[in-house]
Amino acid sequence: MEVITHIDPDPIVADSMGETALQKTSRLQWLDAMRGFTIVLVVAYHVAQIAFGENEKTSSSLPFLVLFRMPLFFFVSGFLAYKATFQWNLSSVGRQLWKKILVQIVPTLVFLSVFIILRKGDFWANFTHILTLPTKSGYWFTWVLLQMFVVYYAIGRRTWAIWVMWVISVAAYATLYMPKSFTYHKAEFFQVTSLVETIKFMQFFLLGNLVHRYWKRVQELFATRWFFPVVTFVAFLCCADIFRWHTLKLTWTNLPRTLSMYCLLMMVVMFFHYYRDWLTRETFMGRMLQYVGTRTLDIYLIHFIVMPKLTFMGTWLNANQPNFLIDIMCSLTVAAPVIAFCCLISHILRVSPFFKKYLFGR
């Protein structure tokens, strides 16, 4: 059984802490450690993409990391969103959504503005242009997560409704990869609102919510002898097809990609759950990952601003037959000081109660 102690909730999912009979005012420490691991992967991905100037066609690590880093983040957010004792009425839902707007949108607009001023130049031209992009120059996550919470609070009281919405979200996601039949997502509305990103990842938010609702049964499934080997085998076959074989054509090419996203996500969850005793606050690794995990909003908002330009690294990696180990180690090596600097800036800003409340939702 997990060691359960109170952990200050991360502002990016504040007031969305999952609750069970054994866990009504706290959450599992390994879950915070897993979120710390995930934000490290996010920053490492952006190091390769922005700092090194690589892309998914030239990098050895980017195509693999993109399979599960954001699905894992939305999975955790959905897991924590379920509260068994939540009062499903108009007042409670309205209060929760207003908190989400204050915590997720206001800080994002502030740091996006700072990012444009420091990194882009002409403020209004870049600000209006970035707002029309589905990924908002990287600042799309909190806006998309807010949309997911709106959907969740609209239908989340009944478990069967979550199942129905999960099926719908998977079907909607599939349409994104059927260009001959569906083109709606290319419309300006879906780009400006980032709804196209919501459609991509809503299924993982709902999956996390369902896993929490069936957490006892899921743990029993994790404990079986066959589940992890099967998941690992399927993940290996899917990744082999994605990166080597390319056996499926046209819209079917997305099938192994989707399966790999689910399998890799579950492998990470099972790994952190299995080694949960190593990830408590009594261990160095546990303390480090949990600290980073409770600063995910801070790191996410700040790291774009402090990201260095190291394009020579991307040129060197590409010129020397890049392989996954070298690629990911270089990205992680640069990501570590970036994360540390983000945490330092966060600590400085949190000296002000005003900044602490309105920039980080505390």
pLDDT at 270: 96
| End-to-end Cα, the chain, rounded Å | 30
5 part of a folded domain: no
- Give one DSSP letter per residue of 83-116, joined into a string: -TT---SHHHHHHHHHHHIIIIIHHHHHHHHHHH
Under a CB-based contact definition with an 8 Å cutoff, are residues 221 and 269 in contact? no
What the block records as the tokens of 68 is: 């599960």
Does residue 134 register a pLDDT over 70?
yes
146 part of a folded domain: yes
58/248 Cα distance (integer angstroms): 22
pLDDT at 65: 86
295 part of a folded domain: yes
Does residue 169 register a pLDDT over 70?
yes
Q: What percent of the chain has pLDDT over 90?
A: 62
Instruction: List 20's β-bridge partners, or say none.
Output: 23
pLDDT at 250: 66
Where does the chain show beta strands of DSSP type E? none
As for how many domains the chain has, the answer is 1
Does residue 173 register a pLDDT over 90?
yes
Query: Looking at per-residue confidence, does 26 or 95 come out higher?
Result: 95
Query: Looking at per-residue confidence, does 328 or 84 come out higher?
Result: 328
The letter for the amino acid at 117 is I
Q: ∠ at Cα 169 (138, 301), nearest 5°? A: 20
351 part of a folded domain: yes
Residue range of the domain that includes 81: 11-358
2 part of a folded domain: no
The number of beta carbons lying within 10 Å of the beta carbon of residue 72 is 24
129 part of a folded domain: yes
**Measuring CA to CA, which residue among 289, 258, 261 is closest to residue 275?**
289
288 part of a folded domain: yes
pLDDT at 60: 79
Band the pLDDT of 10: cuts 50, 70, 90: very low
6 part of a folded domain: no
pLDDT digits (tens, 9 = 90+) for 269-299: 999 999 999 998 889 999 999 999 999 999 9
Helix (H) or strand (E) holding 159: helix 159-175
Half-sphere exposure of 305 (CA within 13 A, CB side): 20
pLDDT digits (tens, 9 = 90+) for 222-250: 999 999 999 999 999 999 988 888 787 76
